[in-house]
Amino acid sequence: MLFLFLLFTKLNVFGCIFKNFMIDFSRMILNWNWYKIIVKKL
């Protein structure tokens, strides 16, 4: 839950960088879920 706190405290440069990292990280997880779904269908 600490990462959620850091995600919402984006008032400084580190906050903005961290927010962008979390967006990319969640996109990567979504892509990984799609990858697993495709593999299951093969």
Of the candidates 6, 32, 30, the residue with the CA atom closest to the CA atom of residue 19: 6
Question: What's the pTM?
Answer: 0.42
What is the domain range of residue 25?
2-41
Asked whether the beta carbons of 6 and 17 are under 8 A apart, the reply is no
The pLDDT assigned to 1 comes to 65
Q: Calculate mean pLDDT across residues 5-34.
A: 80
The pLDDT assigned to 19 comes to 84
Counted domains in the chain? 1
The pLDDT assigned to 41 comes to 80
